[in-house]
Structure 1
């Protein structure tokens, strides 16, 4: 069964809660649900300034897609183009589409923090992916923060 998770009208951005343009999210979600049924997409998120209400009038719309496995490079490029074509009329902006299995962990973590679910063909898989990426991102942030602190300490001591 294809369905989407309900989205709250606010997004957490750091420690601040920000109002999200729910009419925009509803329009884009409706387009995604109708258009992605026949696409090799497991789930899709809205993220970036349109998901956190930081958008300016000229901001694009960022969409992250988790594709089904086994797509060739050409099929993946075509999928990005088709998803943009599906979303652009509803978004009324240029749409930038990324594939979640192509991007580094820090970007996946940012997407996870900002996400608005647009489409989900497999809710259990989406939730497992979110749990895994959330844990991996948190673990990596702890390690990177420690490395940053070590670098600052060494720099302040004149060792770098």
Structure 2
């Protein structure tokens, strides 16, 4: 079969023409950059995201955390338990509704925010783009996510 007989989907470089592969492979590249930074903090990337959300607003419910991170409770709960075992957070039943579990940072969890403060700048440096380019890219990705979730019937 000659090169001209190949369809667009099987031609060399076809993966690079797929937006979904570009997003996927970029996510993998991000993980490679994050890993050594987060290893120094003793966190995995999903655990880091939980901490970032709590550093923004402490005392959120498990449901609120899940909504922000697009995670189901069966995925989120083990992350929270590991962070609790590491001494970074505690879980408590809501006083107004015992069915609701709230997650609170411990002193060690709050202190970890200072240690992690350099991570965003290190990631930006690794990206090799300006703050302005980053803002434009972030805006485009948020629009893309919102549109894809709406297309799939998910609420944002």
Q: Same fold (TM over 0.5)?
A: no
Question: Which structure carries more relative contact order (alpha carbon 8 Å, separation 6+)?
Answer: 1
Which one has a larger percent strand, Structure 1 or Structure 2? 1
Larger of the two Rg values belongs to structure: 2
Which one has a larger percent helix, Structure 1 or Structure 2? 2
Q: TM-score, normalised by structure 1?
A: 0.28
Q: TM-score, normalised by structure 2?
A: 0.29
